[in-house]
Amino acid sequence: MAQLGKVAIVGATGAVGRELCEIIAQRNPTARLSLLASQASHGQEIEVHGRSHTVREVTAESLAKHDVVFFCAGAPRSRQWAPICVEDGALVVDNSSAFRMDPEVPLVVPEVNPWALKPDTRLVANPNCVAAILTVALAPLAKLGHVRRLVLSTYQSASGGGAALMNDLLKETSAYLAETHYEAQIAPHTYAFNLFSHNTPIGEDGANEEEQKVAEETRKIMARPDLGVNVTCIRVPVLRAHSISATVEFEGTAPSVETAREALLSAEGVKVVDFRSANRFPMPSEASGADEVLVGRLRHDPSSPNALCLFACGDQLRKGAALNAVQIAERCLEMRSASPT
């Protein structure tokens, strides 16, 4: 596993930033961390594996001379600072939407499209959390036949909205059980014991921004601009780990369930959880904290001989964000060290 060296995390105080700290400490304990955030967080102390780190404000000086810079502070901050870090010689992995659909910037899930990375790659976009989790489950099936269309429903946890939305869910649930009231700070609707359409703006075609991202980014990751995608994104009262119900339609007759299962069992980053006799399939409670994407409920679509159905769960903060970003950086540095100078 490649060593990351001197690492800066922009947005270190947020949910994804904190998860990045933990994952880097686990996988690259020799990495030297610089934790950066807004001026309001300057001086805050964050403990990472028993060691205290002081958060500094993001400036040109605090960003300078790093080997790897992870951005998880929103698109405006990434657009402002990422090019400066690239110019300074750093490898930049951006978790925001700023560069995802830029044709010059690779959008990468290492288990799915590592070929998009080159030894001289300096800027890589980390995908939308649903697209990352989905494509890990989809890629092994796409090797079995030409996938024509996806019909998806997502069940997205509070972690996708950051620490503030997770806090809303916890406090509103406590208030509900205590028969008191909590005024949500982020959630646009009642969240405890409820679900609602993903809280992003609706476009003229009726799709919200999250649904547009999932469709566009899945096509780019899979290198399939012609892939049909119909997706409905829903917020559910789960703290972390997103779930996806997927119908995968092939150009011709779909592969058998047994063939699909074998492909998934041997796939990198996938754990098959498909126990029909026990009625036990992927659950967000078991995906939370896990690195793998859990896949199950494998079955033929009874309405079409060309389609397979599945259910997948993945930890939004790990494979859907922080872990994928670290894997990208590791893969880039491995390629760089293996490349002849």
**Nearest to residue 312, comparing CAs of 260, 250, 237?**
260
In the beta sheet, which residues pair with residue 36? 10, 56
Q: Which of 21, 129, 233, 332 is catalytic?
A: 129
Give the tokens for residue 304. Answer: 């079409």
The radius of gyration of the chain from alpha carbons, rounded to an integer in Å, stands at: 20
Q: Which of 21, 66, 85, 242 is catalytic?
A: 242
Q: How many beta carbons lie within 10 A of that of residue 143, not counting itself?
A: 11
What is the pairing mode between strands 147-156 and 123-125? unpaired
Q: How far apart are CA 267 and CA 284, in angstroms?
A: 20
Q: How far apart are CA 30 and CA 9, in angstroms?
A: 15
Q: How far apart are CA 187 and CA 16, in angstroms?
A: 19
Respond yes or no: is residue 332 known to be catalytic: no
- Integer CA distances (angstroms), 230 to 20, 77, 148, 295, 316, in order: 31, 31, 12, 20, 21
Exposed (0-12), middle (13-18) or buried (19+): which is 45, by Cβ within 10 Å? exposed
Q: How many beta carbons lie within 10 A of that of residue 203, not counting itself?
A: 11
Q: How far apart are CA 2 and CA 70, in angstroms?
A: 16
Respond yes or no: is residue 53 known to be catalytic: no
Exposed (0-12), middle (13-18) or buried (19+): which is 290, by Cβ within 10 Å? middle
CB 19 within 8 A of CB 159: no
Q: Which residues are catalytic?
A: 129, 242
